[in-house]
Amino acid sequence: METIGMVGVGAMGSALIERLRLAHIEPVIYDVSPEAIDAARALGAEPVASPADVARASTIVDVVVRSDDDVLDCMMGERGVLEGALPDSLVLLHGTILPQTTRRVAEAAEKRDIRVIDACMLGVPDTVRRGEMTFLVGGPDDLVARARPHLLTMGKAVRHMGPLGAGNVAKLVHNLKSGAETLLLYEIARLAEAEGLPYPEALEMLHDTAGGSAITRWRSTFDPSGLDPRPRIGHNVMSKDVPLAAELAALSGVDLPIIRELGASALRLVAEHEGSARL
């Protein structure tokens, strides 16, 4: 039977502890914040003095820290997880970090006969508490199979995205899409305002006429076979309308770099398609 430890019990970690407690699992935990430790103790977790002590008491360690530097420090630093972990322990890196960081940690861990995979989280603390978390996982089949029952005590789904680091990539492209949409809407709002259209009216119009996100119909826009990542383009939107909107942005006198680059990117894509058609 696996024993569970957790390094990092802030907002996301404490929500994961609540899910574990529903399964009658009392993890051993560590955090740099005394306040976070006190809150985790109140949830039934057992605090210890360092990440090494967490690993010493566990066969599976959830690492729920924020940044690449935090991961490297708690895993490979003084009194880190690798210092205390027993052979064949499994470490799950849950943070949104670079795949290169995951592979660096896994390489160091392998020298000690310790296993590492990435298991990135889609959601916020309330999502976790409702049991609706999805994990995007990268790593060998056998390690993902080992981690799956534990992950499903904390979430509703485990998507095995591919080899080590694939979960990191999946999480970053997921958040890139969300962030890019917000940044583009910000520039759209500024362009609308500059041209005399109140931005709430512009955004409400987009909301009412959008017809769903482009990702919902990606199979008709992109090649689902995986042979060519370039989108299919219509007669007007890429060749005329997106560049025309970029021209309007330039004329507005407002600095809108995303819209400017989108116009240039649309023209490059049209040129690529035309070049391919001539071959």
| pLDDT score at 273 | 83
CATH of the domain at 269: 1.10.1040
Q: What is the mean pLDDT of residues 125-145?
A: 97
Is 78 in the same domain as 180? no
Confidence category of residue 4, pLDDT binned at 50, 70, 90: very high
| pLDDT score at 214 | 83
Say if strands 134-138 and 115-122 run parallel, antiparallel, or are unpaired. antiparallel
State the sign of the Cα–Cα–Cα–Cα dihedral 149, 150, 154, 158. negative
Cα angle vertex 190, ends 187, 193, to 5°?
A: 150
What distance in Å separates the CA atoms of residue 126 and residue 15, rounded to the nearest whole number?
A: 8
Percentage above 90 pLDDT, the chain: 89
Q: Is 210 helix (H, G, I), strand (E, B) or coil?
A: coil
What distance in Å separates the CA atoms of residue 273 and residue 270, rounded to the nearest whole number?
A: 5
For tokens 């914040």, what's the residue? Answer: 33
Cα angle vertex 121, ends 13, 154, to 5°?
A: 60
Q: What is the mean pLDDT of residues 210-222?
A: 85
| pLDDT score at 221 | 86
Q: Is 63 helix (H, G, I), strand (E, B) or coil?
A: strand
What distance in Å separates the CA atoms of residue 190 and residue 143, rounded to the nearest whole number?
A: 48
pLDDT above 80 for 163: yes
| pLDDT score at 99 | 97
CATH of the domain at 129: 3.40.50.720
For tokens 């998507």, what's the residue? Answer: 159
Write down the pTM of the prediction: 0.92
Is 102 in the same domain as 202? no
Q: What's the pLDDT tens digit per position in 240-270?
A: 999 999 999 999 999 999 999 999 999 999 9
Burial class (CB in 10 A: 0-12, 13-18, 19+), 92: buried
Phi, psi of 158 (to 5 degrees): -125, 120
| pLDDT score at 217 | 85
Residue ranges making up the domain that contains 194 = 171-278
| pLDDT score at 16 | 98
Q: What's the pLDDT tens digit per position in 58-113?
A: 999 999 999 999 999 999 999 999 999 999 999 999 999 999 999 999 999 999 99
Is 126 in the same domain as 198? no
Q: What's the pLDDT tens digit per position in 17-41?
A: 999 999 999 999 999 999 999 999 9
Q: Is 133 helix (H, G, I), strand (E, B) or coil?
A: coil
How are strands ordered across the β-sheet holding 46-47?
Answer: 46-47, 28-30, 4-7, 60-63, 90-93, 115-122, 134-138, 157-162
Is 209 in the same domain as 254? yes
Confidence category of residue 213, pLDDT binned at 50, 70, 90: confident
Distance of CA 34 to the CA centre of its chain: 27
Is 254 in the same domain as 177? yes
In the listed set 165, 184, 210, which residue is the last one of a domain according to the structure?
165
Q: What is the mean pLDDT of residues 117-126?
A: 97
Is 213 in the same domain as 229? yes
In the listed set 165, 199, 226, which residue is the last one of a domain according to the structure?
165
Is 13 in the same domain as 144? yes
Is 119 in the same domain as 182? no
Is 90 in the same domain as 144? yes
Is 193 in the same domain as 249? yes
Q: What is the mean pLDDT of residues 155-184?
A: 97
- The pair of structure tokens assigned to 60 is 């599976």
Of 159, 156, 87, the closest CA to residue 119 belongs to: 159
Q: Are 154 and 123 in contact (CB under 8 A)?
A: no
Q: What's the pLDDT tens digit per position in 197-211?
A: 999 999 999 999 987
What is the phi-psi region of residue 88: left when phi exceeds 0, alpha when psi lies from -120 to 50, beta otherwise?
left
In the listed set 147, 165, 183, which residue is the last one of a domain according to the structure?
165
Is 138 in the same domain as 191? no
For tokens 């959830």, what's the residue? Answer: 62
Q: Mean of the per-residue pLDDT values for the chain?
A: 95
Q: How many domains does the chain have?
A: 2
Is 74 in the same domain as 192? no
- The pair of structure tokens assigned to 156 is 């509703």
Q: Is 17 helix (H, G, I), strand (E, B) or coil?
A: helix
